Amino acid sequence: MIELSGISKTFGQTTVLDDINLKVKAGSRTAIVGPSGSGKTTLLRILAGFEIPDGGHITLGDKVLFDQNTFIPAHERGIGFVPQEGALFPHMKVGDNIAYGLKGSKEENHLRVAELMELVSLDTRLASHWPHEISGGQQQRVALARALAQKPALMLLDEPFSALDTGLRAATRKATADLLEQAGVASILVTHDQQEALSFASQIAVIRHGRFTQVGSPVDVYSQPVDEETALFLGDALIFPAQVNGGVARCCLGDISVNNPQHTGERRIMLRPEQLMITAAHQQPTAIISEVDFTGHLSTLTLTAPGWPMALQVKTLSQQHWQKGAPVNVAVNGHACVLAA
């Protein structure tokens, strides 16, 4: 539905976006995830029409929004935008914030505001409150309601949940995802939070220094990252040397089949910690627990063995018998990913 190709943007000497390509299907959810300063906000502002790219083109459906000869202004794009912060007008009541930009009569707008508030699960009595009188989560939903009021085909969300506490963040994220799905609105969420990206979207794009390093389904990008930096950015990873041949990696944990057998020779491979099954060993242990960092639900175990080139640190479910010096067996579930050199 929306398609970007070859989008680039430079501020002064700094290249902030470099050859960005992306397709988003109607009604789908995409997350763009990357560290702070990687160009996420700039990309959303370009899509919304608040910033002009140096080159490339953008189409929404069969309508060209931007190319060499075209620039459709923000208010004609049919794209909703919930900015990172300062989304609400502080001098306008909640109801007026939502009604901003509605073109109907006073009565019509009043009804539409109530409808929109219900849609985002806000008590309609909050309409007469000032933005500073409601919680961060409620403010976020007001901003979303205001953007939905324009009936956009595409919604852009710039780190919309980052100001919320962990529990509320997950709940608001789920509610927003459900809401956008019901409304049939496609969305692009940008975030530096990998869990948020993986859970929100059906497509994720990893951005680094203004370039997409990888675009794919959350499961694919998580389990088959293209390189070490992408692997580590998306979560905990065990990365170690292996000799790869014929679809099998020979390494300190034994022989592990790999999911990208086209890479061969001396390589580095990656496993996610949840792929390791650690069990107490009575005879012939694979390794010894040399350290335990207990954090409640999860513990980080440092495992060592005489034949290993390095210690492995594995975050795993806590068990009472995980103690320093305990012998363990380590088995591997699933495939390893061979990382690009």
Instruction: Answer with the entry of Mg ion, ligand ADP, none that 137 interacts with (C-beta below 5 to 8 A by kind).
Output: none
CB-based burial label for 262 (10 Å; 0-12, 13-18, 19+): exposed
> Closest Cα partner for 172 from 153, 191, 149?
191
Residue 225, classed as helix, strand or coil, is: coil
Minimum CB distance to ligand ADP, residue 149 (Å): 25
Q: Which of 39, 56, 131, 152 binds ligand ADP (CB under 6 A)?
A: 39
Q: Verify binding: residue 191, ligand ADP, rule CB under 6 A.
A: no
- Pick 209 or 315: Cβ nearer Mg ion: 209
Q: Verify binding: residue 40, ligand ADP, rule CB under 6 A.
A: yes
Minimum CB distance to ligand ADP, residue 201 (Å): 17
Instruction: Answer with the entry of ligand ADP, Mg ion, none that 109 interacts with (C-beta below 5 to 8 A by kind).
Output: none
> Closest Cα partner for 144 from 130, 133, 158, 134?
158
- Pick 36 or 262: Cβ nearer ligand ADP: 36
CA distance 169 to 192: 14
Q: Are strands 63-67 and 70-71 parallel, antiparallel or unpaired?
A: antiparallel
Instruction: Answer with the entry of ligand ADP, Mg ion, none that 146 interacts with (C-beta below 5 to 8 A by kind).
Output: none
- Pick 41 or 203: Cβ nearer ligand ADP: 41
Q: Verify binding: residue 36, ligand ADP, rule CB under 6 A.
A: yes
- Pick 15 or 313: Cβ nearer ligand ADP: 15
Q: Verify binding: residue 41, ligand ADP, rule CB under 6 A.
A: yes
Minimum CB distance to ligand ADP, residue 65 (Å): 19
> Closest Cα partner for 308 from 335, 327, 288?
288
Question: Is the separation of the CB atoms in 330 and 303 below 8 Å?
Answer: yes
Alpha helices in the chain (DSSP H): 40-48, 94-99, 106-119, 136-148, 166-183, 194-200, 218-223, 228-233
Q: Verify binding: residue 42, ligand ADP, rule CB under 6 A.
A: yes
CA distance 219 to 60: 27
Q: Verify binding: residue 52, ligand ADP, rule CB under 6 A.
A: no
> Closest Cα partner for 56 from 118, 7, 114, 13?
7
- Pick 41 or 203: Cβ nearer Mg ion: 41
Q: Verify binding: residue 16, ligand ADP, rule CB under 6 A.
A: yes
Task: List contacts with ligand ADP (CB under 6 A).
Answer: 11, 16, 34, 36-42
